[in-house]
Each structure stands twice: as structure tokens, then as C-alpha cells.
Structure 1
Amino acid sequence: MTEVALGIDIGGTNTVLGFVDRNGKCLFEDTIKTQIHEDVDLFVKDIYEKVDKALKKINNIKLIGIGIGAPNGNFYTGTIENAPNLRWKGVIHLSDIFKKYFNLPVFLTNDANAAAIGEMIYGEAKGMK
């Protein structure tokens, strides 16, 4: 069974999500509109339903955790804090909401940091420190 992580990139307009294995290979990808969700709980529920459907279609994979890059994401608190390009205002405890639906480890960070880490591990910046 192939272990995968759910990677989520939350943007002001669209959110991209996908399953990635330990080698960085993307096994599934989907996109949802971020701005149509006035309620962050319904946003996470929509993602959960898409992921659940995909897990039922793809054989031999096991979801073991979730990584999220989000505007103004705070790695230490698991929150999005006053993101100017999102509808949800104030401090959003996003990691807790994802844990409620998925019951898996959830790691949230600033989207720019997530992009840099991805490039360092799998992309053009591989090997840089």
C-alpha cells in the first residue's frame, strides 16, 4: 500500500489539492473555488468529500497526513491570521477544522514557505539550504 500525504495550496481564488507519495509523485489532483465558501467549515467539508471520493477510486493508497500552505498561515498555531485575500476574517483555526474531518496529523504553514520547501525538496532548488 502506498502512503500519501494530502497537499493543499489555499489561494484567494482557487485551492489546489492532491495526493503526493514519499517520492513527490502526484497521484491525484483537483481544484476548488476558494471564494465561493463563505463558511470555512463548509470549505473543509467540500475538500473532505472530494478526498473521500478520490480515495475510493484509487486503489492501494493510504492517506497518512495533511500539509497546507495558506496565506498568513502560522505554523506554530495552525491558524490563518487575518489573510487579506480570503473571505474568512480574523484568526481561523484551520488545522483544528481539518483534524475534525480527517482525524489525521495536519501541518499548516505560510504558502510562500510551503512553496520554498517544495522547491528545496523536489524542485529546481533541490540541495540548497
Structure 2
Amino acid sequence: FEMDVLYEDERIIVVDKPHFLATMPRGMWYRETALIRLRERLGEPDITPAHRLDRMTAGVLVFVRDPACRGAYQMLFQNKQATKVYECLASCAPIRRPRFGTITQAEPPRPFPLLRRSHITKERGTLAAFEEPGAV
């Protein structure tokens, strides 16, 4: 699984992490992580992730070049000053009237005709996220 660098400057590196690639080393797949691959590719052993994405989740991942800067970027996520938007492509028939959120026609060239949007909350210490009323 390859990662594309989307942006970089003297402080941060932003990559597009593919599905099935862990953010950080764990267990026997030490080298098969976004962190180790980026450190080796750029020759910078101090690179550290500012946040994490699950191994199964693809998406934009922010790394810091200087570990001393990590806290400032982590606070953006913790204080909800940085927002995350998750998009899932699924070929199954959608719910006609969802309990929460909306369903609208998607703009071409998307491969699926409907766009389902809802507010998802993830509470610290709870394994599963859940849908609830509120802004997307």
C-alpha cells in the first residue's frame, strides 16, 4: 500500500493513508506502518503522527517533523478546531428514511448515486461511535 504526500512544509507532512496500513508500529508488522514508511522515505527519524487513523481507515493523516510541535497539532483535534469528515462508499441499498442525517443525490462522477450524511460522535473510552442528531 502506497502513501501519497499531499502537503509538506518545515513543520508538518500530510499524507493520504491507504486502507489496511496502521498509523503506528505495533506487534510484528513494525515496518508496515505509515510512520515507519514515512521516516524511511524521508530519512527523518523524528517524524511523529499528530493523530491516528485506524488501520482499516483510509484518509488524510498529519505528521509533525519536530516532536516538540506535536502537542499543538494534537490540541487542534482535541479542541475540535480541526474537523474530520469520514466518507464511506457502499454498494448496498441505503436506508430510505434514516433516523438521523440526510440522503441526497450525489454529483457525478461519484460511482454511487446517493450521499448519506449524519453526525457521528465518538466518546473517549468507548469503543464504538454512534449517530445522533446534530450538524454533520
TM-score, normalised relative to structure 2:
0.25
Relative contact order, CA 8 A, sep 6+: which one is greater? 1
Q: Judging by fraction of residues, say which structure has more helix.
A: 1
Q: Judging by fraction of residues, say which structure has more strand.
A: 1
TM-score, normalised relative to structure 1:
0.26
